[in-house]
Structure 1
């Protein structure tokens, strides 16, 4: 049975969508092309998939009150779910197999510039 989201859930979803849109803008301004948004599979989700040159970045977006809290919000469990999702995406996008693959993050906090961190996690997809 599907339930309507609570007002708290709806607010969190709107905040997440705004954070992802801002993160996508940051990446585009840095020369990336957004390949996919909110790619969900294999029990995980990748917020953004972006490409620049021969690099494909699987990007986790975290918005918190403090940038340091955003960085700490990426757990090993999240990394494992993300890796499963990356493997799924690669199976459906074989053109990317020969490219450099990396797991990046964009951290956001109020009144602070967004912080893009390349290779924030090791991407164990073997």
Structure 2
């Protein structure tokens, strides 16, 4: 059981690294990685211009499965963590914020889906 957990952790870290590379190539600047709170976690927090993006990274065999794997419960937890980030980072409050998904597949270039789900705090 422990071995499969370690493999899943490694896959997740690789997916985050490829998502980070994609977003940097698109001109985003990393603000935080794996921002954890008691309410939830955000995989990547990035900014381009005045827009702050709270990004959930999903590694699945199909991109469609990655998008649909973000449940309403999970999106609420991400939005709660984002709210705490915004409370401590005044710059986030000056511009628009959104919730994105980066779908990662072993055989395709990662896919960035802006405004993938609504942020309900």
Q: Tell me whether the two structures share a fold, i.e. TM-score over 0.5.
A: yes
Deviations 1:71-126, CA, capped at 9 Å, x for gaps = 1110000111011101111111122111110001100112112100000011123x
Could you tell me the TM-score, scaled by structure 2's length? Answer: 0.95
Q: Give 1 or 2 for the bigger CA radius of gyration.
A: 1
Structure 1 residues without counterparts, runs of 5 or longer: none
- What is the aligned partner in structure 2 of residue 116 from structure 1? 112
- What is the aligned partner in structure 2 of residue 83 from structure 1? 79
**Greater shift in the superposed pair: 24-33 or 86-95:** 86-95
Pick the aligned partner of 2:66 from 70, 77, 81. Answer: 70
Give the whole-Å Cα distance in 2 for the aligned partners of 1:42 and 1:99: 25
Give the whole-Å Cα distance in 1 for the aligned partners of 2:109 and 2:10: 20
Structure 2 residues without counterparts, runs of 5 or longer: none
Count residues in correspondence. 121
- What is the aligned partner in structure 1 of residue 27 from structure 2? 31
- What is the aligned partner in structure 2 of residue 17 from structure 1? 13
- What is the aligned partner in structure 2 of residue 45 from structure 1? 41
Could you tell me the TM-score, scaled by structure 1's length? Answer: 0.92
Aligned CA-pair RMSD: 1.1
Give the whole-Å Cα distance in 2 for the aligned partners of 1:16 and 1:110: 12
